């Protein structure tokens, strides 16, 4: 009798396909490998190396302090402007890095996608993880700024991980959406930098959300990152807590996550053909 293994053909799935967490867990080592590789590539032959995790957000916060704090006299809600802006910049820097990384993850792994099988969702998932290392480094600097300015977080600090997890999930959802779209339409890469810049100024990183008044607050919170930045800043600095409008951000964030995964799963059967 022949001992040859039977031929197995991996055909594209048809119809709706649920997210297979067990399969993704089985490929957890691949996710870890891709994440570590991205970290190494990011800082390979870099002059400042890992210091960029501090230099970039600190430079952004310093610019916001001069332009918005000193020149425009924007309120920092009773907190020194540099600390106030740096706290939000740390979260925004992670979000923008994670979304941008997930967006280009499929193109970066084109050689793997066209040659071997693995859950395609592993690529964007691995791309949202390296930014957490940069965030951890930036948080060490934030602790130093808090101590230098004599600021001590209150008990609400215990809720900070919730806003961080929310940011990771929203970044993952938005990143998977743009990853699927980028494979099909490559010119998305050309405009994505502009999208992130506009998104930054639509988020209360350099100004307080109280500048938006009345019913416009509900429209403003259609940006899912607004509620996350508000909550992150409140949990660390004790600034005003998010209001009822933050529920809109929460709802949009859930839609972004679920919608991004659905679009990705409906498109993944064509990735190897068009990438």
Residue count of the chain: 275
Q: How far apart are the first and last CA of the chain?
A: 41
CA–CA distance, 150 with 47 (Å, rounded to integer) = 33
Q: Where are the beta strands (DSSP E) in 110-178?
A: none
| Confidence (pTM) | 0.89
Domain annotation covers residue 30:
yes
Domain annotation covers residue 100:
yes
CA–CA distance, 76 with 204 (Å, rounded to integer) = 11
Domain count, the chain: 1
The average confidence (pLDDT) of the chain is 87
Packing angle between helix 160-184 and helix 81-103, nearest 10 degrees?
A: 40
Contact 85, 67 (CB under 8 A): no
CA–CA distance, 10 with 26 (Å, rounded to integer) = 17
CA–CA distance, 261 with 29 (Å, rounded to integer) = 21
Tokens 């992150």 belong to residue: 232
Domain annotation covers residue 9:
no
Q: What is the pLDDT of residue 9?
A: 52
CA–CA distance, 230 with 144 (Å, rounded to integer) = 21
- pLDDT (tens digit, 9 = 90+) per residue, 84-138? 999 999 999 999 999 999 998 888 888 888 888 888 899 999 999 999 999 999 9
Q: How far is CA 65 from CA 28, 31, 92, 196, in A?
A: 41, 38, 16, 20
Q: What is the pLDDT of residue 240?
A: 92
- The two tokens of residue 150 are 């004599």
The domain containing residue 56 runs over which residues?
21-274
Spell out, as residue ranges, where the chain has pLDDT lower than 70.
Answer: 1-19, 45-50, 272-273, 275
- pLDDT (tens digit, 9 = 90+) per residue, 197-207? 999 999 999 99
The DSSP annotation for 240-265 comes to PPP-TTHHHHHHHHHHHHHHHHHHHH
Q: What is the pLDDT of residue 16?
A: 52
Q: What is the pLDDT of residue 21?
A: 77
CA–CA distance, 66 with 220 (Å, rounded to integer) = 25
Contact 125, 100 (CB under 8 A): no
The H-or-E segment that residue 25 falls in is helix 21-26
CA–CA distance, 177 with 180 (Å, rounded to integer) = 5
Domain annotation covers residue 5:
no
């Amino acid at each position: 009798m022949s001992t040859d293994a039977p031929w197995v053909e991996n055909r594209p799935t048809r119809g709706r396909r649920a997210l297979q967490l067990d399969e993704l867990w089985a490929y957890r080592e691949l996710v870890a490998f891709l994440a570590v590789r991205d970290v190494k590539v990011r800082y390979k032959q870099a002059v400042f190396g890992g210091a960029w995790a501090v230099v970039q957000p600190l430079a952004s916060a310093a610019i916001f302090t001069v332009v918005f704090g000193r020149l425009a006299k924007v309120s920092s809600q009773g907190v020194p402007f540099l600390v106030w802006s740096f706290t939000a910049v740390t979260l925004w820097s992670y979000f923008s890095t994670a979304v941008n990384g997930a967006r280009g993850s499929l193109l970066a792994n084109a050689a793997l996608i066209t040659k071997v099988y693995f859950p395609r969702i592993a690529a964007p998932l691995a791309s949202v993880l390296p930014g957490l290392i940069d965030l951890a480094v930036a948080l060490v600097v934030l602790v130093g700024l808090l101590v230098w300015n004599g600021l001590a977080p209150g008990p609400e600090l215990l809720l900070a991980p919730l806003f961080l997890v929310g940011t990771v999930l929203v970044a993952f959802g938005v990143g998977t959406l743009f990853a699927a779209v980028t494979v099909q339409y490559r010119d998305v890469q050309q405009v994505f930098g502009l999208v992130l810049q506009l998104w930054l100024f639509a988020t209360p990183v350099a100004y307080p959300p109280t500048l938006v008044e009345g019913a416009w607050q509900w429209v403003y919170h259609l940006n899912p990152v607004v509620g996350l930045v508000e909550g992150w800043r409140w949990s660390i600095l004790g600034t005003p807590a998010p209001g009822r409008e933050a529920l809109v951000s929460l709802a949009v964030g859930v839609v972004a996550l679920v919608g991004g995964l659905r679009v990705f799963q409906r498109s993944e059967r064509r990735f190897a053909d068009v990438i």
